[in-house]
Amino acid sequence: DSQVLRLDATGPVERAVHRLGLAHVVCEEVASGDFDSIRSFARDFDFHGRTFRVRARGVGADVDASAVEGQLGADFGRTGVVDLEQPSMDYRLLVGEEFFLGRVMHRIDRARLEATKVAHRPFSLPISLHPKFARALLNLSRVPMAGFVLDPFCGTGGLLLEALSIGLRPIGLDRDRRMVLGFRASLRGAGDGALGVADAGRLPLRGASVHGIATDPPYGRAASTRGEPIASLYERTFRAFRELLPPGAHAAVVLPNEAMIDLASEHLERIEAHALRVHRSLVRHFCVFVNS
């Protein structure tokens, strides 16, 4: 199901899961299969009197999640004590054509992501990505922990703030001096970030000085391009990206349409594109390119 992503992890996942923006919860899978297999695991597991909680969620199948939740809770209750507020062990049961039982390892703090929305910053304009999408874009850039990530259209600084929050070192540029100066107010207390006034098509950086790029360029009539056609701006920008990025490094960019994706692909190799419908007349494309 599209709501569930299963991954094999060979090492500690704590350093990775705190970067997530679009997920709700990360679990260690402890049992899967039909419901009888799940119940067999629950009956055999010994809590030794510890507290537990189990929540069920349907993911596409016509199954009563609350009913199976109650049965599983009764099985766990043979050796454990239910605590819905602060359990020592927390479980999620995903109910579909196949059942998955997982022990909760990490919950994404959605409230914190809402609290960093552009409207809640000292300097804001209604053109910034929601923090959860900003974080997703940063992850698509593949920049490693403590790596340098560039946003050459930093605007109100949403991507930079999220980069700081997940342990990256952001470099923010914008050719609008007002944006750069205004963002300094949002940056205070959030951490260190390098800021500058510069044109994205003429980057004042040495080649291979960043580990990747994540950016949301201007795309519509409300966005300021100083009269330059969007195609011209994107052409110059992606040429500069190709010159800046080391071989194998990625640029994660939000683009407005297929024509701009094709234009970008003339300079960098496209490896991913994910469409997000904002409203009836606006679809945004979260694209990933690699400097091959």
- Note whether 129 and 137 are within 8 A (CB): yes
**Of residues 224, 284, 281, 215, the one with CA closest to residue 253:** 215
How confident is the model at residue 186, as a pLDDT? 66
**Of residues 261, 21, 254, the one with CA closest to residue 139:** 21
DSSP characters over 189-229: TT---EEEE--TTS--S-TT-SSEEEE----STTS--TT--
Helix boundaries (H) for 78-176: 110-115, 131-140, 158-165
How confident is the model at residue 188, as a pLDDT? 66
Confidence of residue 286 (pLDDT cuts 50, 70, 90): very high
Kindly indicate whether the domain formed by 14-107 is annotated with CATH number 3.30.2130.30. Answer: yes
* Other CB atoms within 10 Å distance of the CB of residue 48: 6
- Domain 113-290 fold is Rossmann fold (3.40.50)
> In the chain, what percentage of residues exceed pLDDT 70?
91
Confidence of residue 278 (pLDDT cuts 50, 70, 90): confident
Say which residue, 118 or 104, is predicted with more confidence.
104
Confidence of residue 118 (pLDDT cuts 50, 70, 90): low
How confident is the model at residue 21, as a pLDDT? 92
From 57-71, 129-143, 241-255, the region with the lowest mean pLDDT? 57-71
**Of residues 253, 213, 218, the one with CA closest to residue 133:** 253
Highest-confidence segment of 65-74, 214-223, 242-251:
242-251
pLDDT, one tens digit per residue, over 151-208 is 999 988 889 999 999 999 999 999 999 888 888 776 765 567 799 999 999 999 999 9
How confident is the model at residue 39, as a pLDDT? 97
pTM of the model: 0.87
Say yes or no to pLDDT of 219 above 60. yes
Q: How buried is 186 (Cβ within 10 angstroms: 0-12 exposed, 13-18 middle, 19+ buried)?
A: buried
Q: How buried is 98 (Cβ within 10 angstroms: 0-12 exposed, 13-18 middle, 19+ buried)?
A: middle
Say yes or no to pLDDT of 224 above 70. no
Say yes or no to pLDDT of 58 above 90. no
Confidence of residue 104 (pLDDT cuts 50, 70, 90): very high
| Residue-range domain boundaries for the chain | 14-107, 113-290
Q: What is the mean pLDDT of residues 81-104?
A: 95
How confident is the model at residue 3, as a pLDDT? 81
Q: What is the mean pLDDT of residues 117-132?
A: 65
